[in-house]
Every structure is written in structure tokens, then in C-alpha cells.
Chain A
């Protein structure tokens, strides 16, 4: 084993035991002399002590929340990621997704060398050839015919990317994120003047969330989980906070609510206005004209939530201030999503929360590194351009639209109209498979980058991502290095001073040393300290959030009438671990049970027991979910946490590519979504697909963690619960 061990300098290592134990698995069982070879460093680094892990700070790249991490590095290998306590975003904590970052790095299905399409196969070519090919393909192509598709980007990668497009004479940067809260962003901008205000769960006495899964998959889950822990403390001056969640399908956040309200899909805005009406009825002063038509009876009838419950909720909101109302992806996923989100923001304003629990966010004072956040509209725009044959060269970095675009968009077909497609990718995913040239990227644990998260906590920060170990494969390159090489093809003089992306970052940081808080410090010392901390905290002036009530005309449609052909609403659920499908190839996440259903390694259809009984469906039945644009077949799971008018299928599985752990697992619900768009923003409305569910006659045993008792405690005190009036939290430590 040790004989085969890579002997590059960085790995010249191993004392007694050490990695040998791990690598050989279960090795010899007795004292054996002279069989194994001990390899020592030839020139050891000072900080290396064999068998002792050293931590290096970096930034998690598993989602766009920008948590700071520390990687435990031992004998040249990164073994585990922990949260960096210095970051005000995650304060030393991580989620399962973040933990699995090492599996993205060590994934056996990573692409290891540049591949050029040759028929159906990829042929390995050198980097020089690949870059030269790009250069030659761009010759004779007009600037506006070049497009760059990415996920959310930020930091200096974003700067180089924009500069490269500018050098090509193009402004076509499409940032696509299939599950981003883009409608809420727009509504927030209108109501508060900022897209992503700072939400103070820690200060709120009541949190009313309309389908925002802030503990699971929404915006910055680890940060909100930290806040949530504060919010739940009985020893807090405000007392233990109360969480009320309104949604049609129970999310992880909903499962933690003091009261979970199953609302008829799409009527979130009606409930928000109904609550304003009820607050007025309870004596709160409501600016004239708002929500007059939303009487208790009407709202109760439309939303399916009892009048008693609405009254109780209004009373709670009136009595316990400040509260915090959050609009999430369930509220925004309709053709009237903007209206829903506006109604919910209005409730926040009426309750006087703006300025108290909805605050102006910290902002990094360097506009060029600010994030370009992804949305769904970008993909539609690109798709239209491609359909019309206007795109001649397409670059794709970090997006997988062939997997995540609804079939109705015909994206794959339109991609075929682009003569030259380049994919910068870690794995052969569905989109990389369509590319003409695939350029393999370094993993996030091998690469340099800076990132600026969209959601900031109390401090503005620029996160540093740095290599935690030597590259696993010599044939991969960092995104920054590639962009720099491409820029050198266009603007050689401007970039000739930068040998690589590292030197670019180095000088970018040092040029702004004073603004970054390094006044009077030696350059080298400042740079080393920055890398050592893994983040730069920046002074920033707190802006003021607009707290005036903006009663814009809100037009909410009547709830959807029953449709005999397609009677059920399809809710594509964002799973906290698989998200938009980009993590489906990480085995820890596939084997980590879905928190609510405890299902692993598959997709499923959540259906309310009542609806299931009506349709004669029992657990494990393979059902066909048919929409106007196609159908999927998956196992049925009887789930009490869903509105009887809806069914839900999790997003993320159903890959046709992406390696051994993802391919062929479950079904892809993106495929069958209707192409319905939010009227306010043009975003794809994720929850606007109507379906019918029918049995196929097949049945399977669902693979799940839940026992045969189906999650019942059988009268034992196992997971115990107590009501707040029967417990004294004040003395707790």
C-alpha cells in the first residue's frame, strides 16, 4: 500500500502507523517486523507533526451561503471540515452539506483532464490545445454571440469573468439558480429598499414564516439555525420565541414549528392580508384601505385555515412584538408570487417589524466583488437567445440546466443550436455531456477564490477560499487560473503581471490593504494573516432600511378551482442536502435520510393519507405523476404534513449522468414542471404545475430509516414534548 503512495513533496510523510492504518483498512493482526515501509518527509515543513492534524481556514463552496470552514489536514490530506468560529455567518458550525465537501473533493467521478468531443466520446487533449481551441473558435464571432452561463458567482472570479466578457465585447452573463429566492428578492427590494435584508430571528418574539425553509435549504441555513437557537432560548430577554409556519408541504422548518398550518396552495398572500384585516379587527391601527376585503370568513374559506386559528394567530402577533414575517419559496412559487410576497412584506410593515427584526444588511464596500445572484429568469433569457440561433459560443460554469430546466423549455434542443459549447466542470453532469469541450476544475478544496455571500450577518466579510491540500490530479485547473489564461489571450498587456490567479488575488488584496483594515501593516504579514483567518471583516456603515408602509395595489387571484383533469398541485420540494441536484453524487448525502420521511437513495411522492385513501394508494405503491408536460413514476409515501390538494416530490435526484452515486437514483421532477412564470418578475413559477396521480400496479418496500411503527412512540417517553405553560425555562443554563 505504502509503496504505491504518491511521493510528491507535499505528501512525503508518514510516521509510524498514521495513514497506513487508514489506507490499508484492516491490516495485519500481529506484530510484524520489516514488512511495511515507513516514508518520512525529506524536508518537513515546520508545522507538520506526523499524526497531528493542522487546521487551515477556507470557505465552504457547497452552496452560496458562504460559511467559513476549517479543514483538518493530516499528512497532506484533508480529512474533515469544521466551521470557523470567527465567521459571523456560521460561527463555527456546519450543515451536512458542508460536511460532505470532502466527498466532492475526493469524489471518484471527477473529470481529470480536458476532453474534446469526438462523436459521442470525449478525447483527452492538453490544456494548451484546449485554450487555443477556445481562442480560435472565438475568432470571427461577434461579442454579442458569446454567452457565459454560471450559477451564482461573486468575488474575484466574478471580476475576471466580467472582464473576460468585456474583452470579448459581450455583456451576456447569465447567472442561473434553479432554486433561488428571486421573487422574494424583488418584493423585498420594493418593500424595504434592499433585496436581502438582515432577518433578526434572535430578536423576534414570534416568527411567522410563509414556507421559508430557513432551517433547511433557504438562503443561509446554518446562520439561521444559529439564530433559531437564540430565538428558542427561554433565558433570552424576549423569552422563548414562537414559530408559526404556514405552507402546503411541511419543510424541515415547518416540522419545528409550534404551530404548523396547512394552507391551500397559492393562498399565502390571502392569509397575510387576512391577518392584517384581523389585526385591524383586534384594534390595531391599519392604514386606510389595506386588506379591507379580506374578512375572516373569506380568508378562512380561501386558505382552508380555520377562523379560530387566524384569530389566535393575529392575537399572538399583536401581543408579542416585535415579530418577524418571512416569505419563502412556497409563497413565491406561483404566477402571482410577486403579489404573495408583497402581501407578506406588507404584514411585516403593518406589524412594525421593519427596522426592528428586518434590518439593513451589512454590505461589502467593493461593488465589483459583490455577488451576481442566480435566478431562473436568466435561463429563460438564454434559452430564447439560443432558440433563435443567436449564441455561437457558450461557456458554462457551475450550472446544470440540462438537468434542471423543465422539459417544456426544450433547452437541450436549443443547446444543440450553439456551435461551440465549453463546460468548466468537476463532474460529467448532464450539461457537460452536451459540451464540445469540457475543462476539468480543481475542487473547492484545491482552488483559490474569494467569495462574498449574498446574505450577510452583522459584519460585512469577504471570504477567502484556499487550497487545503495538493491537487489530486495534475490535469485539473482552478477557475481563476483558466479565466486569467483566457484573459491573457485578449488583453495580454493588462494581465501579464499576474503569473497565476494566486498572484492576482495577492495583489488585489494588497492594493486595497488600507480599505481592508490593514493600515500600517507589513504587506506579507497582512497577507499571511488574511489567509490564516480565512476571511476579511470589513467596516461598513449601516444603511437605513425603509420602514414606511407601501400599500401598493395587491391583486391576489382567487384560489385555484378544482380541475378534473389535473386535480392536484405539484410541489417540487427543495431538499436540504441535494438542493438543485448538484450534490446528488455525494454518497453521505444520499444515505442521509430525508428528515421528514427518512427515505434514502431515492425519490418519492408525498401524498396525504386522505388523498391516498381516496385514490386507493398505499405506501410503496409506484404511482405515476402526470402533468401536461410529461410524467414521472416514483414510490408513494403517505405523509401527514401535506395539504390534501397537493403532492410533493423532492428535487435533486433522477440524474442521467454525474457519476456512480447519482446516475439512475430516483426521478427528476424538474422535467415535468409547466413553463408558467411569475407575472411580476418573469421567474419560472415552481409550484404552478397541476398533476394527476395514478397507480401503476407495482409496489415496492420503501427504503427508509423509520421503523415499522411508522414513527409512533407506542406510549413510551422517547422523544418527549411539553407545552410552554408546564415548564419553567428561566433557570436553565
Chain B
């Protein structure tokens, strides 16, 4: 095995064996000490396959109910995460967007979460929050800094070209968000997990029978 990697040097033969690759990846990280701040749980082995690999519960400044918005109200994910179709980042909705709707939704105006929301917009009475302060949301799907996941490509491919339902497309990586309040990671987001999908054949559009695989060169995500 070792010889094969050394001499061929290509990634292709490795791709068939995600297990090996992940082990190698971790090996390199530990050996080099690439970065000083290796987080505590990064050193502990993580399962690499796993649809049910739930991330930790993250406490947010406001307990945002995805289930109300995406579930009950059936709001398109990209109504709020508006950059997903045209940028590598999906974007956290600007405060203005939340307020835009909620200032005309009287029915929930006095609920604790919405009151909190308006504190960020109007400033809190005790003066601890200045008007128009961005809400300090915590990142839930936080990839390592050397990974550059591109939202636009995935949305374009699966939502626009294959015409899959948006919640299904987003759900490939984010899970069934419409059943959650605060979002929680439900996929491992490890490289092996990414590759396991990239090496499948995917139709190029809604009607064609032609398929292609996802790119498998390292520079697609690491650069």
C-alpha cells in the first residue's frame, strides 16, 4: 500500500479507499502540527461514515426556529440564505431581512425570541446592545479553515440544473433542517464523507441520462 502511494503519487487509487485516505489525512495533521490550535476533540477519533453523526448542540443568542420557517411556513432556504446560489458562502441573513418580515407580523411580536430580535435592531433598553448590532450567531457547520466548500456549485448543480427540491439539496449536507429549531450538524462533513458522494454518478441535469462524478482533485477544495 505504502509503495503504491509513494510511486504513483496520484490520488486516484486512493479515492477508492476513503478509509485509508482519512487515516492519512489525520496522520499528516498530527505529525506536522500544522497549526498550533488543534481543538480538543479533533484528536479523538471520529466515526467517518454516518448519517446519524450528530454534532454538538450549539447555543445561539436567539433560539432560531428553523422548523417554523422552513417547516411550517415552507419558506425556501435561499430566501434567507440568499447568497448560496451565487457565492461560496450561503450567508447568514442580515438583520434587516429578519426585521423586514417581523415588523409586520404582529402575532408573534411580543414573544421572547422576537423581542430579543428587535433588541438587536433597535438597541436594548439597558444599553448593552447598540442599535443595528449584528446578531452574534455561532457557526454550526464549521469546516476546517483549509477546506473551501462551495455552496454555489452544489446549488447550481442540484437545485437549478437537476431541479431537485431545495430542502433535499440543502439537506444532503445540512440534514433535515425543517425539523430542527437551532440547526445542528447531522452529517460528519469529513473528507471521506464528501468523497463518498463525489464518486457517485450524478445526472448532469433534470432530463439527461448523462452522468458525471464530482471532481476529485485536491485543489477543488484545498488551496
| A and B interact | yes
Residues of A within 8 A of B (CB): 7, 9, 12, 15-18, 20-21, 24-44, 49-52
B121 to chain A minimum Cβ distance, whole angstroms, is 8
**A35-B145 contact in complex given A42-B134, A43-B95, C-beta closer than 8 Å:** no
Chain B residues with Cβ under 8 A from A17's Cβ?
88-89, 143, 145, 148
CB atoms of B55 and A29 under 8 A apart = no
Say yes or no for B142: interface residue by CB 8 A criterion: yes
**A30-B92 contact in complex given A12-B134, A36-B138, A43-B132, C-beta closer than 8 Å:** no
CB atoms of B58 and A34 under 8 A apart = yes
**A18-B89 contact in complex given A28-B37, A35-B138, A42-B94, C-beta closer than 8 Å:** yes
Interface string of B116-159 (1 = CB under 8 A from A): 00001100000000001111111111111110100000000000
Interface stretch (choices B38-46, B101-109, B204-212): B38-46
A51–B90 Cα distance when bound, in Å, is 10
Given A16-B89, A17-B148, 9 more pairs with CB closer than 8 A:
A9-B132, A17-B143, A25-B35, A34-B139, A36-B138, A37-B139, A40-B92, A41-B94, A50-B87
Chain A residues with Cβ under 8 A from B10's Cβ?
none
Q: Which residue from A21, A28, A39, A40 sits with its C-beta under 8 Å from B42?
A: A28
Task: Give chain B interface residues in 46-69, CB to chain A under 8 Å.
Answer: 46, 55-56, 58-59
Q: Which residue from B88, B91, B95, B143 sits with its C-beta under 8 Å from A31?
A: B143
B181 to chain A minimum Cβ distance, whole angstroms, is 15
B191 to chain A minimum Cβ distance, whole angstroms, is 10
Say yes or no for B177: interface residue by CB 8 A criterion: no
A666 to chain B minimum Cβ distance, whole angstroms, is 35
Say yes or no for B161: interface residue by CB 8 A criterion: no
Q: How many pairs of A and B residues are in contact by the CB < 8 Å rule?
A: 143
Chain B residues with Cβ under 8 A from A33's Cβ?
55-56, 58, 138-142, 184-185
**A40-B95 contact in complex given A30-B38, A32-B39, C-beta closer than 8 Å:** yes
CB atoms of B56 and A29 under 8 A apart = no
Minimum CB distance partner of B35 in chain A: A26
CB atoms of B93 and A40 under 8 A apart = yes
**A36-B142 contact in complex given A29-B42, A31-B55, C-beta closer than 8 Å:** yes
Chain B residues with Cβ under 8 A from A37's Cβ?
136-139
Chain A residues with Cβ under 8 A from B184's Cβ?
33
CB atoms of A16 and B139 under 8 A apart = yes
Say yes or no for B190: interface residue by CB 8 A criterion: yes
B24 to chain A minimum Cβ distance, whole angstroms, is 14
A41–B148 Cα distance when bound, in Å, is 21
Among B83, B90, B146: residue with most chain A CB under 10 A: B83
A28–B39 Cα distance when bound, in Å, is 7
Task: Give chain B interface residues in 154-185, CB to chain A under 8 Å.
Answer: 184-185
Minimum CB distance partner of A3 in chain B: B136
Chain B residues with Cβ under 8 A from A51's Cβ?
83, 87-89
A7–B95 Cα distance when bound, in Å, is 14
Query: Can you list 7 A-B pairs, Cβ within 8 angstroms, ordered by A?
Result: A28-B39, A28-B144, A29-B29, A30-B39, A33-B184, A37-B139, A44-B96
Chain B residues with Cβ under 8 A from A52's Cβ?
86-87
Chain A residues with Cβ under 8 A from B96's Cβ?
41-44
A43–B133 Cα distance when bound, in Å, is 10
**A49-B83 contact in complex given A16-B89, A27-B144, C-beta closer than 8 Å:** yes
Minimum CB distance partner of A16 in chain B: B89
A44–B139 Cα distance when bound, in Å, is 20
Chain A residues with Cβ under 8 A from B92's Cβ?
15, 38, 40
Question: How many of B's residues come within 8 Å of A, CB to CB?
Answer: 48
Minimum CB distance partner of B29 in chain A: A29
B161 to chain A minimum Cβ distance, whole angstroms, is 21
CB atoms of B37 and A27 under 8 A apart = yes
Q: Which residue from B121, B139, B190 sits with its C-beta under 8 Å from A38?
A: B139
Residues of B within 8 A of A (CB): 29, 34-35, 37-39, 41-42, 46, 55-56, 58-59, 83, 86-96, 120-121, 132-146, 148, 184-185, 188-190
Chain A residues with Cβ under 8 A from B146's Cβ?
26, 29
Chain B residues with Cβ under 8 A from A49's Cβ?
83, 86-87
Q: Which residue from A9, A28, A44, A50 sits with its C-beta under 8 Å from B145?
A: A28
Chain B residues with Cβ under 8 A from A44's Cβ?
94, 96
Chain B residues with Cβ under 8 A from A30's Cβ?
38-39, 41-42, 46, 144
A32–B120 Cα distance when bound, in Å, is 26
A25–B35 Cα distance when bound, in Å, is 9
Q: Which residue from A28, A31, A43 sits with its C-beta under 8 Å from B189?
A: A31
Chain B residues with Cβ under 8 A from A16's Cβ?
89-91, 139, 141
Interface of B, secondary structure class, is: loop
CB atoms of B134 and A28 under 8 A apart = no
CB atoms of A34 and B145 under 8 A apart = no
CB atoms of B90 and A31 under 8 A apart = no
Chain B residues with Cβ under 8 A from A29's Cβ?
29, 34-35, 38-39, 42, 144, 146
A47 to chain B minimum Cβ distance, whole angstroms, is 12
Q: Which residue from A31, A41, A50 sits with its C-beta under 8 Å from B188?
A: A31
CB atoms of B145 and A21 under 8 A apart = yes
**A35-B94 contact in complex given A17-B145, A20-B145, A28-B142, C-beta closer than 8 Å:** no
Among A21, A24, A41: residue with most chain B CB under 10 A: A41
Minimum CB distance partner of A35 in chain B: B142
A27–B39 Cα distance when bound, in Å, is 10
A7–B133 Cα distance when bound, in Å, is 8
A452 to chain B minimum Cβ distance, whole angstroms, is 39
CB atoms of A26 and B145 under 8 A apart = yes
B155 to chain A minimum Cβ distance, whole angstroms, is 14
Minimum CB distance partner of A24 in chain B: B145
**A42-B142 contact in complex given A32-B39, A33-B58, A34-B56, C-beta closer than 8 Å:** no
A36–B140 Cα distance when bound, in Å, is 9
A685–B61 Cα distance when bound, in Å, is 70
A395 to chain B minimum Cβ distance, whole angstroms, is 40
Chain A residues with Cβ under 8 A from B94's Cβ?
40-44
**A38-B137 contact in complex given A26-B35, A31-B185, A50-B91, C-beta closer than 8 Å:** yes
CB atoms of A32 and B83 under 8 A apart = no
CB atoms of A27 and B35 under 8 A apart = yes
A79 to chain B minimum Cβ distance, whole angstroms, is 16
Chain A residues with Cβ under 8 A from B135's Cβ?
40
B220 to chain A minimum Cβ distance, whole angstroms, is 15
A12–B132 Cα distance when bound, in Å, is 10
Minimum CB distance partner of A30 in chain B: B42
B88 to chain A minimum Cβ distance, whole angstroms, is 5
Chain B residues with Cβ under 8 A from A24's Cβ?
145
Query: What 5 A-B pairs come out closest when comparing CB atoms?
Result: A15-B89, A30-B42, A34-B58, A27-B145, A40-B92
Chain B residues with Cβ under 8 A from A26's Cβ?
34-35, 145-146
A20–B42 Cα distance when bound, in Å, is 19
A48 to chain B minimum Cβ distance, whole angstroms, is 10
A549 to chain B minimum Cβ distance, whole angstroms, is 62
Chain A residues with Cβ under 8 A from B139's Cβ?
16, 33-38
A34–B38 Cα distance when bound, in Å, is 15
**A15-B83 contact in complex given A28-B142, A32-B142, C-beta closer than 8 Å:** yes
A428–B87 Cα distance when bound, in Å, is 42
CB atoms of B35 and A28 under 8 A apart = yes
Minimum CB distance partner of B143 in chain A: A31
Chain A residues with Cβ under 8 A from B37's Cβ?
27-28
A374 to chain B minimum Cβ distance, whole angstroms, is 45
**A31-B142 contact in complex given A17-B89, A26-B35, A42-B94, C-beta closer than 8 Å:** yes
Chain B residues with Cβ under 8 A from A21's Cβ?
145
A26–B90 Cα distance when bound, in Å, is 22
A35–B39 Cα distance when bound, in Å, is 10
Chain A residues with Cβ under 8 A from B138's Cβ?
33-38
Chain A residues with Cβ under 8 A from B83's Cβ?
15, 49-51
Among A9, A24, A30, A44: residue with most chain B CB under 10 A: A30
A196 to chain B minimum Cβ distance, whole angstroms, is 45
